[in-house]
Homo-oligomer: A and B are copies of this chain.
Amino acid sequence: MIDRLQFLLALAREKHFGRAAEACGVTQPTLSAGVKQLEENFGVLLVNRGSRFQGFTPEGERVLEWARRIVGDARAMHEEVQALRHGLAGRLRLAAIPTALAMVETLTTPYRARHPNVQFTTYSRTSTEILGLLENLEVDAGITYLDNEPLGRVTAVPLYTERYCLLVAADAALAGRERVTWKEVAQVPLCLLTPDMQNRRIIERLLRDTGANPHITLESDSMILLYSHVRTRRWASVMPSRLAATLGLTDVLRAIPITEPEASHTIGLVAPAREPMTPLTAELVAEARRVARVLAD
């Protein structure tokens, strides 16, 4: 039964019988049969199909919701029993927005100190992707914006507030300033994330709101690429202050706070709102609350 429900979850995220089957490690006929068997159990069609996957029926959507819960609980049960046996152990899967990647360490380092047998996998994803991954139990927790898009059924722990600064070489035009305005920043050619990233959209919105037409000379979905460019001192960027400091960019470049308006966004940990949480996730949430106290401005 539970494996059938997992088939259904895979189908929901892959929207394709073949790929869903592959994701489950079975062949396509097996997955088809599994779904069909669920449908026979319920006496209701769950999936609309022509010659291809066409989404779920209303009943299918409901079953899907239950499947998420039941499969999640089954995993949590397993994890909890293992924790009773060997202490906290296993793999914690995280997803973080690129601008938060550098601060994941502030969670994982103390976590690992407490629980040396826990391993981590961290994905760099957009904020909307993170919510999708959480929804489908593909990650245990995410680090993303808490105050923008609707979060859905999650537990959220605010971690820190993102404020923005302009990063320029010491010999650049604005380098001497104590603070700059978004209008001034809009005149500088910048390295930024790609437009599918919320951070980029936030910054671009702030720039455009001044009436200017910003020059995004270079964009990437990879922070390391932006970092390596900016570090040469030949490129400028706008980054969250904390991120620039963590990366050591403030040693090499001038980091000038941007005002008018003074924009800020809250970044935090989000985990599926399930009661009880898996032991690994519960411990991560606890760690996040501790870290939040340390980071508090």
A interface vs B, CB < 8 Å? 1-3, 41-44, 58-59, 62-63, 66-67, 69-70, 73-74, 76-78, 80-82, 84-85
Does B69 contact A81, Cβ atoms closer than 8 Å?
A: no
Q: With both chains docked as a complex, state the minimum distance between the C-beta of A73 and any C-beta of chain B, in angstroms.
A: 5
Does B70 contact A74, Cβ atoms closer than 8 Å?
A: yes
Taking CB atoms, residues of chain B closer than 8 Å to A74 are: 1, 66, 70
Does B66 contact A80, Cβ atoms closer than 8 Å?
A: yes
Taking CB atoms, residues of chain B closer than 8 Å to A3 are: 1
In angstroms, Cα B80 to Cα A73, docked, is 19
Pairs across A and B, CB under 8 Å, 26 listed: A1-B2, A1-B3, A41-B78, A42-B78, A42-B85, A43-B82, A43-B85, A44-B84, A58-B84, A59-B81, A59-B84, A59-B85, A62-B77, A62-B80, A62-B81, A62-B84, A63-B77, A63-B81, A66-B73, A66-B76, A66-B77, A66-B80, A67-B77, A69-B73, A70-B70, A70-B77
Q: With both chains docked as a complex, state the minimum distance between the C-beta of A149 and any C-beta of chain B, in angstroms.
A: 24
Nearest B residue (CB) for A85: B44
Q: Point out which of A43, A66, A76, A82 has the most chain B C-beta atoms below 10 A from its C-beta.
A: A66
Having A42-B82, A44-B85, A70-B73, one finds 9 other A-B pairs with CB under 8 Å, namely: A1-B1, A1-B3, A41-B78, A43-B82, A59-B85, A62-B80, A62-B81, A63-B77, A70-B70
Q: With both chains docked as a complex, state the minimum distance between the C-beta of A2 and any C-beta of chain B, in angstroms.
A: 4
Nearest B residue (CB) for A70: B73
